[in-house]
Amino acid sequence: MGLLIWARALAQGVWERRIQAQTAIRIGLLRTTAVLRSLPETAWEQIRHWRGKSVEFPIEEQRALLAEYYERFEQLAELICDAAFAGEGAPFQEHYAALRRWLQRAYPQLKPYITGHMNCDSSDAEFGMRTVGKPTDAMEALFAAETVEDILRHDQGDLIGRLERARSALYRYADYLREMV
């Protein structure tokens, strides 16, 4: 009898250890996945992140990125206005997709700075909820939708105001950067 009890206890202990090991592996994989997803997208941000430095970047880099961002933003604004005037987005879709990809990669770096200079409006968040299922600010709302058609279809008369809020935030941020020496 003693041997049988001892064998059952051993088997139960092995089984519990196996379950604990599987749980530990799952938790480890979940944590690793979360860390990999949270890594910054650009190489410079990754280097700063790995060195333990803040991901904020120097004023010169902000100015350079803002200048390029502003140029692409103006192209996007012109494209959206042309599509609205034409009443259809299909002829503009290819150019919109290229601009959208670039803006989506660049905006997270500038977002904390631009939103600090932005006049917020609830229509921007509502537009994001209608198109992508999450609230957006005025800038994100302009490139959140997959297609130009989606932007035009979901617009409820707030598109011009959204463009102006985003543009004025860029102007104010640029003025702020000019004041920094």
Whole-number Å distance between alpha carbons of 53 and 156: 43
Given the candidates 1.20.120, 1.10.287, 2.120.10, 1.10.3470, the CATH classification of the domain at 59-179 is 1.20.120
Amino acid at position 4, single letter: L
Give the domain ranges of the chain.
2-38, 59-179
pLDDT digits (tens, 9 = 90+) for 77-126: 999 999 999 988 889 999 999 999 999 999 988 888 898 899 888 888 88
Higher pLDDT, 123 or 5: 123
Whole-number Å distance between alpha carbons of 106 and 47: 17
* pTM of the predicted protein model: 0.67
The torsion angle over the Cα atoms of residues 177, 178, 180 and 181, rounded to 10 degrees, is 130
Task: Give the chain's count of helices (H) and strands (E).
Answer: 8, 0
